[in-house]
Chains A and B, each alone.
Chain A
Amino acid sequence: MKSLKLTLVTGRTVEQGVEGEHGKLRDEYAEKVAVIELDSEDLGRLGVSAGSPVLVKTAHGEVVLKAIAAKGRHPGIAFAPYSPWVNVVIDSETDGSGMPTYKGIEAEICPTEERVVSLEELIRKHYGLEVDLSKLAGQEVSGGEGGEEQLIKDVVCPFCGCLCDDVEVLVKGGVIVEVRKACAIGSAKFLDHRKERALHPLVRKDGEFVKVSLEEAIEEAAKILANSKYPLLYGWSSTSIEANELGIELAELLGGVIDNTTSVCHGPTVLGVQGVGTVRATLGQIRNRADLIIYWGSNPLNAHLRHLMRYSALARGVFIKGRKDRKVVVVDVRETPAAKMADLFIRVKPGQDYELISALRMAVRELDIEAKEVAGVPVEKIYELAEIMRTAKFGAVFFGVGVTMSPGKDETIENIIRLVQDLNEWTKFVLCPMRGHFNVTGACNVSLWMTGYAFGVDYMRKFPRHDPAIWTVTELLSNGDVDAALIVASDPLAHLPKEAAENLAKIPVVVVDPKFNVTATIAQVFIPSSFVGIEKEGSAYRMDGVSLRMKKVVDPPEGVLSDEEILSLLLEKVRELRGA
């Protein structure tokens, strides 16, 4: 049978974002995320047509995904959206950074007769748990009848780190009927927030989920945490600052670990800044002044949809009036949608960002590079980019998980920060991480001001300690270091590498989330919560650190509490159980 050795890159897609917001237990989610994008050339070489299943094998496992044709050209590279399916082939090794290698993985791909398994089958096969998703599927919450129409303006969108705050939401009878100005994913989040809702706390009894009262669920959850020797409190990036503060207090009380999703997105960025510093600017400063925008390993048209219009390439600023006043450069392993609109596209070999950055630092200093090409990029092109950078009046690099997740990790980030610091000898240059979840920047900030560290904080000794090689979600779980977990506003089972996910399924888990997500399927206790930024107000931080007040635009479903309220109850109960 034919097979191809390709480089596997996993990442975000619009469909994955939209379907994830709608509900991850639906078949449509599986349909959109259990896929692998292959270049037409590679499809031909494999002899499979788009839509056929293929077997993806790495050193860490194998999984069947549906092959689809890639939109941009990237022969030799296979792209798969983050999902419980593709995670099965991802390694849990983090090289001490806490960050698994989600990108640039050697993979063998071949045609197969097998089909793509359903989520239920996947959970059975890999986590050894029987779940009947049809029983767990959420329900659509109906709204009130009739009622006044109300247009709420300047709503802050609780989806990505862009935190667009100009969204208009039309509410009728307590239901969101229309969303204006938001992107596709943001709109989906507002419009679909009532769909697939889990409304009842659930506790697993004799292997089956049973509906229980909130009091009972809190009691069960508190018992799991209070009886745990070393619990992990994970998630936190899609909830408010206020909820984060309570989460940190709970971790301190329990003597456990609190980690936010930074450890699997921009953890290396944090480590890079710890090492050498940073050069930042708010998005408005960039919009108003930057005549050079570089997207490096970031995919704004799929992950931060309004970024280009509001803040970067296409945005109208005070001194830079739009696309025509700007140069746009894209550095990526594949031709992303943004690459098509760039003045210069630099295709870097997967996993060789560090080498390219080093060469650029040399070129910026006018040093001779002896090789003909570095990281697959001809040296002339490197000198060209260096010249573009040095002669810009104000340059901005937006780097994404394409850089942080590649091998090299924090070393790569330190190098890119050094490049930007170097460039400030000639001109103005800043960089900004493209943070994913709407409040992941806030989760880092509140963790910093309460613990001194942005993520991966241990309280075993009743004061905060930090070491990404020990106290981050992937390390703790894959090493089997924790004996219970509280997951708030996150879905690690859908995003963590195989071993970590497997071990999560072996310990008692409490999930607090507005929707019954993939992680909830393996939970001991599930407590539904309201959506921050839709049903509950709270503070959140944009990717550049600007803090905004999220609005409450509609009431939560009856009986559903906010993360803040649930965590307060948990704190109280744990204190009681621990006799404090």
Chain B
Amino acid sequence: MKFIVGEDIVLMSSEEKAEVLEKHGLNKPVFEQYLNYIGSILKGDLGYSYRSQKPVTDIVSERLPWTLLLSITNIILSTIIGVAMGTWAAWNRGKKIDIVLNNIFVFFRSMPSFWIGMIFIAVFGARLGWFPIFGAQSVWAGYMGFEKIVDIAMHLIMPTITLVILSVSSIYLTMRYSMIDVLGEDYILMAKMKGLSDKKVRYTHAMRNALIPVVTIVMLNMGYMVGGATIIETVFSYPGMGRLLFEAVTNRDYPVIQGCFFMITICVIAANIIADFIYPLLDPRVV
């Protein structure tokens, strides 16, 4: 770490340099630095930002709610859309609607995220003026109560749609494939032979079994989303973790970078634990 601190320190005099190194504990052996770091994490202390001198814990906890808001909204929407469309396409496999949906979602999947974001800003933000193009809320407007909620929602719409377009395809494709697989199972035939309606067969018998691989995809996405929305958050200047990470990298603010990665790791692990709790609800074979 101390080799890559950057140009600022190169310009300092040797006393100043010694002072900075001393302050951040960078003059100690690497192993000791590592132990100090782990020790502080356990106390909830992620160190201080080189740039703003504020505690990293504060900076991260200021940004995390926005990212969670963005990614949870995205996950809920793209799961609903992906699962519904995937089920529909699988049920109508090989028919026109299936082919059309497949093409749409593969097209979505192959578009670069920053490009979609920029098109949205240019068209719906700048030209049509429907949505705000910057930030997560109009801080200066001093909205209160319901107005504030509406304001936040309006700011959320464009980044969310962009993220949904990016993540819905993998959910759709997984759901469709998994559903096609399940629809070929003998118990589906059995359900049909029992005289159950198509709707009942589709939703009670097929969907529940087909959802299992989708939960994996969704939860993996959820974990990556916290860090993975970097591009979207940067394009929309959304004050989340992704943007914080981007800023920290450009500023060579290592404690903040470490703090971000630490939070992303926690989120990925948390998402996996949630997935592990959901599996047994869907499939009694998983205990």
Same complex: no
Interface residues of A (CB under 8 A from B): none
